[in-house]
């Protein structure tokens, strides 16, 4: 039922856009209607539809915005830690917990900094009104580097409630072949950041057990197949 509700919300959103088609672009196989939905966003990067039809949108500079009734709310969602834009990094993707209607949990990926440099992290918090509460980091990429490119990072929940996080190679493509390194991998986590026992490298010495696949450059698209449910 939730999937149908999401689909109907998206259909309604796009129907309104199509009614105000500004420009038609013709490709080899299709015609596309281009319409401006929202003004005022700065480097929007990820979005997630809330069950009530509102829309969460990340801005790479570090703000989480809310679109309600077709309008951008003037103030960003409060409660996030300070997140700055570094090259291609900043605040990146946003995803809702599969049980969002009951628990209100929102997941965000971002470029986090420490003394070693930058790396993709994932945090979660509970959306209460216009604020995130109980914010906690559940994943940090290791190692961190000074590179400002190739952070990934898409967030996808599968039908079992496991979280997939895509991570870029940070411009060090040879390191995407290593299993003691997060660069160029997809990691699979439980919703609280713990490691699923069925991950393929669990129990192997010298290997990060959260790794699911490796050898990637910079995955920036990920979704579930609507029939099979495969990522």
User: Could you give the residue numbers annotated as active site?
Assistant: 150
Cα within 13 Å of Cα(192), Cβ side: 3
Contact indicator for 47, 57 with CB cutoff of 8 Å: yes
CB 104 within 8 A of CB 126: yes
Distance CA 99, CA 97 (A): 5
- Which residue in 222, 221, 214 sits closest to 184, CA to CA? 214
Mapped onto helix, strand or coil, the DSSP state of residue 10 is: helix
Q: Rounded to whole angstroms, how far apart are CA atoms 2 and 44?
A: 25
């Amino acid at each position: 039922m939730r999937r149908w509700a999401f689909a109907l919300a998206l259909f309604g959103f796009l129907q309104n856009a199509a009614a105000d088609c500004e420009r038609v672009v013709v490709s080899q196989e299709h015609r596309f209607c281009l319409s401006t939905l929202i003004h005022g966003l700065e480097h929007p990067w990820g979005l997630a539809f809330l069950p009530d039809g509102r829309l969460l949108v990340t801005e790479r500079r570090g703000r989480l915005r809310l679109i309600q009734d077709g309008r951008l709310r003037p103030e960003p969602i409060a409660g996030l830690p300070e997140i700055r834009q570094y090259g291609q990094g900043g605040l990146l993707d946003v995803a809702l917990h599969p049980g969002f209607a009951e628990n209100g949990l929102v997941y965000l990926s971002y470029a986090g900094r420490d003394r070693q440099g930058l790396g993709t992290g994932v945090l979660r918090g509970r959306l209460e009104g216009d604020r995130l509460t109980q914010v906690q980091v559940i994943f940090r990429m290791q190692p961190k580097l000074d590179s400002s490119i190739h952070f990934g990072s898409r967030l996808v929940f599968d039908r079992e409630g496991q979280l997939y996080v895509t991570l870029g190679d940070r411009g060090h493509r040879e390191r995407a072949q290593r299993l003691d390194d997060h660069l160029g991998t997809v990691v699979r986590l439980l919703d609280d950041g713990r490691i699923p026992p069925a991950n393929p490298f669990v129990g192997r010495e010298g290997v990060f057990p959260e790794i699911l696949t490796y050898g990637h450059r910079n995955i920036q698209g990920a979704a579930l197949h609507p029939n099979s449910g495969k990522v």
